[in-house]
Amino acid sequence: MADRGFTLPVWLAAAAVAAVDQLRHQPFDPRPLLQLRPDDPSAAAQPVPVEAAALLGPDRALGMARCDPGDGLDLTRGLPVWVEASWIERGPGESWLQLQAGDGVGVQAGSADACLSAYARQLLECNLAPLVPLERALLLRITLPGGRELAQRTSNAAFGVVEGLALIGTQAEAQRSADPDQLARALEQLRRRAQEPAIGGDLVLVIGENGLDLAPRLGLPPALLLKAGNWIGPLLVAAAEQGLRRLLLFGYQGKLIKLAGGIFHTHHHLADGRLEVLTSQGVLQGLPAAQLQALATAASVDGALRDLAAWDREAAAALRQRVAAAVEQRSRAYLARHGQHGLEVGAVLFDRNREICASGPLGQQLLQAFRDRDLG
């Protein structure tokens, strides 16, 4: 694996390792070896470059890396990642690894806890555990200079993450969601999955990193999950062509709603129309003119639904369900236009609180059926 093209959690782990090496009075290594597959201890460690590390005191050290996500558009390019590492006393029942969110690191609203994906935490644990003496504990204070400003250009706030960037990567390699290379990679992954006997004709097409992090926590088997990026239409057709029988679309309501409007490449540079789709579904539901105008002029889908719920909670819930059903209906129509009729498509939507907020008629069935599957 090359130096470039890593997700933010990898650069965090590299800076942390560099800082802890300084605490251990080791020579500075500009390319520390990291295990990037916490789930596979036999995988070869990979060098990840760091820019600097220094001892700040007897029990404090600083490591710094700079994010390089590879080619393509990514707002984290060049982002400094600072990790201050300190030895601390380990109290009874306390974890040996404690994390503190510094400036620019996203936290859940109402909390001081850094927002990390399961992969980010596992990456830290597997690379730092061999470096920490049994009698000690390690405190990492993470700082992302400029992260607070960059977060304003993301959907973090839509998921209740404030103050900075969330560390939510789910794998080492950065994936680009809008370019054709990303589609080619996803199509190849889909073909491999379709050939695995254990899959049994099922697939969960996950929209975005938040969905990929959330799906296993809600009981969906990781073996069924495939990240879609923005190329949803071609992947639906490819899934049908590969003989898959059941597919669940799982994603944030502010993204999947585009499918309800017949938009099957969802990158915002190509098309938006989310509020227009929401408003048209409100018309079909028979909402009064004042509420339709509020939907059409809202700042976001989340804001529109939140304001509608303040007026009539049942109407907002019904509108979400209508959107989910429309996602399923338009997906079937999209497949039919491409000559594909054998793939069942369900839809499940989650909201800014990372909770399921709606599901189509088939989506609820598939969600339960896939949760019940035992794939090891």
* Structure token digits, residue 40: 């596979």
Average pLDDT across the chain, whole number: 87
Please state, for a pLDDT cut of 90, what percent of the chain lies above it.
Answer: 54
Decide if pLDDT at 95 tops 80: yes
SS (H, E, C) 288-305: CHHHHHHHHCCCCHHHHH
- Average the pLDDT over each of 77-91, 202-216, 255-269, 322-336 and give the range with the smallest value: 255-269
* Structure token digits, residue 243: 């003989």
Quick check: 51 and 37 in contact, CB under 8 A? Answer: no
Decide if pLDDT at 352 tops 60: yes
User: Looking at residues 158-166, what average pLDDT do you find?
Assistant: 78
Partner residues linked to 54 by β-bridges: 62
Quick check: 311 and 347 in contact, CB under 8 A? Answer: no
Centre a 10 Å sphere on the Cβ of residue 131 and count the other Cβ atoms it contains: 15
Residue 177 — very low, low, confident or very high, per pLDDT cuts 50/70/90?
Answer: very low
**Domain regions of the chain by residue span:** 8-165, 180-371
- Average the pLDDT over each of 48-57, 65-74, 212-221, 306-315 and give the range with the smallest value: 65-74
Residue 118 — very low, low, confident or very high, per pLDDT cuts 50/70/90?
Answer: confident
Residue 267 — very low, low, confident or very high, per pLDDT cuts 50/70/90?
Answer: low
Which amino acid is residue 127, in one-letter code? N
What is the rounded CA–CA span in Å between residue 374 and residue 307?
Answer: 40
The predicted pLDDT at position 163 comes to: 83
Name the residue with tokens 């596979």.
40
The predicted pLDDT at position 3 comes to: 43
List Cα–Cα distances, 4 to 49, 70, 270, 319, 352, in angstroms: 9, 5, 27, 43, 31
What is the rounded CA–CA span in Å between residue 290 and residue 181?
Answer: 45
Which amino acid is residue 102, in one-letter code? G
Biggest alpha carbon–alpha carbon distance for the chain: 69
Decide if pLDDT at 158 tops 90: no
Could you report the per-residue pLDDT of 194-246, keeping only the tens digit for each?
888 888 899 999 987 778 888 998 999 999 998 887 778 889 999 999 999 99
CATH of 8-165, one of 3.90.870.10, 3.30.2110.10, 1.20.140.10, 3.40.50.720: 3.30.2110.10
List Cα–Cα distances, 331 to 101, 193, 232, 252, 279, in angstroms: 41, 21, 10, 16, 19
Decide if pLDDT at 290 tops 80: yes
What pTM was estimated for this model as a whole? 0.61
Nearest of 177, 155, 239 to residue 205 by alpha carbon: 239
Quick check: 255 and 300 in contact, CB under 8 A? Answer: no
The predicted pLDDT at position 162 comes to: 81
What is the rounded CA–CA span in Å between residue 225 and residue 228?
Answer: 9
